[in-house]
Homo-oligomer: A and B are copies of this chain.
């Protein structure tokens, strides 16, 4: 039982990512698209933290990077997380937590997905 594990799931943003990855593999880009309120860079950094805690792993597939959850690391935490987001109110609560705990600068302008056509 590593303390880094608890710190890792202590962040609502990282729990959001874990939830997305829970029952499917996703590319970094797909994860970002599901989280419209942060930049791709921010997602990538959180994925790095999760990977360092052993909670996710990735493989390279062509120019994509595919992430998946490493449930074996989670152990007793897995049941707790599942219980949490089986809760009907989970998504609502998470949003509240995210809003409350937001750090870093607010984006100056609406950011765009790097996958879509962007002039300039």
Knowing A1-B84, A79-B76, A80-B1 are in contact, say whether A10-B12 is a contact too (CB < 8 A): no
- Decide if B7 touches A3 in the complex (CB within 8 Å): no
Q: Which of A64-80 contact B (CB under 8 A)?
A: 75-77, 79-80
- In the assembled complex, the Cα of A11 lies from the Cα of B90 at a distance in Å of 21
A interface, over-half SS: helix
- In the assembled complex, the Cα of A114 lies from the Cα of B89 at a distance in Å of 44
Q: Which of A7-25 contact B (CB under 8 A)?
A: 7, 9-12, 15
The contact sample of 20 A-B pairs, CB cut-off 8 A, is A1-B80, A1-B84, A2-B93, A3-B12, A3-B15, A3-B84, A3-B93, A3-B97, A6-B9, A6-B10, A6-B80, A6-B84, A7-B10, A7-B12, A10-B10, A76-B76, A76-B80, A76-B83, A77-B80, A80-B80
Q: A77-B80, A80-B80 are in contact. List 8 more A-B contacts (CB 8 A).
A: A1-B87, A2-B93, A3-B12, A3-B15, A6-B84, A10-B11, A76-B76, A76-B80
